[in-house]
Structure 1
């Protein structure tokens, strides 16, 4: 029986198949595959989403940390550009699955971890997201608190920081509660506002530094050999990759609404690396100018804004709120909300998942993570990069190598379907995950193998790809030759021929 329809490379369930799944405990309105009408995101929507998420305080200060570790300006920019190009690859590979089959990340994970085992990668992603939510909520809180205190005596109000935190936390949760469409609108609003603000800041710096670029731009690297540079370069590169490694996993949550593969690929490929690189350059140039203008390097945009008149500070505060909310909601609330929802789809909605994430984030310690850059790039980013790299590898191997982009969509929502594996767990993915984590960890404790840990995300990804591909080569969950054609109704005969050729 035909259970799915493929049209222009996008697969949807037939009305009959969808009706049969409505009573399944693995199905609800948020986790179900998107319909043809819901594939509405254009390339511009993906571009504004990424621009809005990239233009934030952590992105602005990323280059500063590398320069403080000894890099010159172009070494820091190059590291950031390369890291974003590298992480863009798994983002696009996983986006393809979300776009083609219209499935969110937790359902995508069922395919390679099993109906119950999917909780392992989704909760791993959720915990990291909750940590990021706490970090960005804390950054936004301290920024708003500092700016208000510098312009209107806010520091004299009892409990002023707690008031700001409560307001900012509620604002993030309220927007996230409304779902991905609200995030789409937020990105459309935020991108031009924050982008134009960054350009204005750059122009201000240029007009106040005559006859040069400031000492930071002209300062040479502190490394005297390639070996010294590489000791800092590789963990910094891993940190840049890990910055968006979370989105590389749950990007299907957004890509499932793309109009086509072309729209999501072009929108993301242009916006992510270019925005991060240009914004980092602006931060370096502006900070270099502050040495000339104020006599000290002001890497923190909040500290810089505090030097301006009250009206400018007020506008800057609004812009920082918009920027912080955009990345916090888009990057840090969707995945954990979906993970919570996937635990009990019949009772937990996306909105309830957002609230759970917000409450969990309060229990974490973002103030310690952000207390110094060493904790941030070598601790937080390094550790979760080591965890998420193997998960990315398993996802890529399963969809592109093992299954060759063919699956039975209906069975992802059936408790006893082919993706249930053994009691809901795919032991092969668990083995690949453990091996992909353990080998880099060995490098952490072995001085001669330290490069394994410094590049934990990359090594973990490729190790997991190799192990998982080998273990799954004859798995019973794979579609047999001709089976995809037997369950799929093709609206374009050419699509059927192309699908058959890949099996």
Structure 2
């Protein structure tokens, strides 16, 4: 689609509506295999398994959460198919041509944070393999800088650099990489589960992990109730939904390359509820078998592989975990900030340069390792900031505009989306109030109930969406029907 009269401060070739639509159901499916099949994804699934107190409870909670994820991803995915634009450009319709930079940068910061976390997790798997050798183990013990061992720093930098090679040719390289990386990780996760089940002598869906062990492992996660209680199950479903909160915003970065809604819907069906439940089952079975074999709860797959007697299996596991991290970082934590930073300065920053900026920020964060800590708490705090933005965008696209957007106006300084000098005050007010209740109050004060933080993302979506709808309804000259007055 050719944009006539596009402003150079709003347009470059990477931000333009997608011209090539070759992401079929398999590629959309592998967006999710790449995103879910990671060390952090496994760790979260295994951690949530402990909260459920049993396998059936776990599958029910994860299944309900996965259906919610599927529905939300379809909503944002359809917008990407119809408009062909990336997330920061779509955000201009609700936040204004300049105001969209605010939600874009929020999403970029989250991506940079995760970029470092995933890279650190992958490098940890490599370190766990190398310290099997006494010479590497001694180097690991004796040499330290930047707050880490020398071996950890070297492995981090190597994994960090390898990821930059994947994006040399843009989104087409991303598609090709994820189409084999995601399935490869599935194979390794199955090998891990089968190996442990064989070694334990049983294949069990029921857990014999004692309650006192579960309570000890989950005491700092901030999840209310005892493992297996209804409060814990609802919290598990909520945390699972929140884990994907950042990708709800920028899934249109990928769906814009799909030929139609059917491709998105089919890819999402297999990649989300089906794939998520199966992956979580594998994580649960592996956690049970690992406890039976080693007598301890091991939530990190690299911790399990480090105990393998076979060097070959340990090597295979370490390489697969590294590939898994490359996959999720490219899909979830490179593509989004690449477009987000390009959106801020289209004249100077293209897709590649935006990605390099994100990678550099992740590298600078590494000495501080801000991602270390409880997975559930971390996901809740970071994810809850995304809810209000999503609430505003969904209400604007589906309830205010009825799915009809003048795409060309998204690239014009004097068009429909200029609002108040390029900023849409109504959207900023709604998102700000939503963020107050989704993230600021529950995490920085004790004014709200302790359980509020678990559901903060949901409160953010609802509060921001309702306020935005009300403000738009009261705005002069605006009909809440999709048509301009």
TM-score by length of 2: 0.87
Equivalent position of 2:155 in the other structure:
164
Match of 1:110 among 92, 111, 133: 92
Matched, 1:188 2:179: yes
Moved more, 144-153 or 440-449: 440-449
Gaps of 5+ in 1: 1-12, 485-502
Show CA shifts across 1:354-388 (max 9, x none). Answer: 11111112233697555432xx312x222222211
Partner of 2:429: 431
Q: Which residue of 2 aligns with 1:321?
A: 322
Corresponding position of 1:142: 124
| Separation in 2, partners of 1:249, 1:424 | 21
Confirm or deny: 8 A CA contact 2:131 2:137 kept in the other structure. Answer: yes
CA contact (8 A) 1:135 1:366 kept: no
Please, what is the CA RMSD of the aligned residues? Answer: 2.8
Unmatched 5+ stretches in structure 2:
144-149, 216-223
Q: Which residue of 1 aligns with 2:303?
A: 303
Give deviations 1:422-460, integer Å, cap 9, x for gaps.
111000001111121223444564566444332111111
Report what 1:386 is aligned to.
384
Report how many residues are paired. 462
Question: Which residue is equivalent to 1:91?
Answer: 73
| Inter-partner Cα distance in structure 2 for 1:260 and 1:75 | 36
2:106 counterpart residue number = 124
Match of 2:338 in 1: 337
Correspondences of 1:479-498 after superposition (within 5 Å): none
SS of match in other structure, 2:298: coil
User: Structure 1 residues 448, 338: CA separation in 2 closer, same or farther (over 3 Å shift)?
Assistant: closer
Superposition deviation, residue 462 in structure 1: 1.2
Are 2:245 and 2:384, in contact at CA under 8 Å, matched by a contact in 1?
Answer: no
Q: Structure 1 residue 64 and structure 2 residue 55: aligned?
A: no
Q: Does the C-alpha gap of structure 1 residues 88 and 463 become closer, same or farther in structure 2, counting only changes over 3 Å? A: same
User: Per the alignment, do residues 289 and 318 of structure 1 end up closer, same or farther by CA in structure 2, a change over 3 Å counting?
Assistant: same
> Could you give the per-residue CA deviations for residues 260-289 of structure 1, whole angstroms, max 9, x where no partner exists?
001111111221222222222212212222
Deviates more, 1:241-250 or 1:231-240: 231-240
List per-residue Cα deviations over 1:318-357 (Å, max 9, x = no partner).
2111111000110011111111111110111111111111
Q: 2:43 aligned with 1:44, yes or no?
A: no
1:253 alignment partner in structure 2 = 253
Q: Give the C-alpha shift of residue 237 in structure 1.
A: 3.4
Following superposition, the deviation at residue 476 of structure 1 comes to 7.2
Deviations 1:109-147 (A, max 9, x none): 111000110011111111111111110011111111111
Which residue pairs with 2:291 in the alignment?
291
The CA distance in 2 between the partners of 1:480 and 1:69, in whole Å, is 43
Aligned mates of 2:368, 2:233 — CA distance in 1: 26
Partner of 1:28: 12
Correspondence for 1:10: none
Runs of 4+ in 1 over 6 A off after TM superposition: 220-223, 476-484
In structure 2, relative to structure 1, the CA distance for the partners of 1:33 and 1:254 (3 Å cut) is same
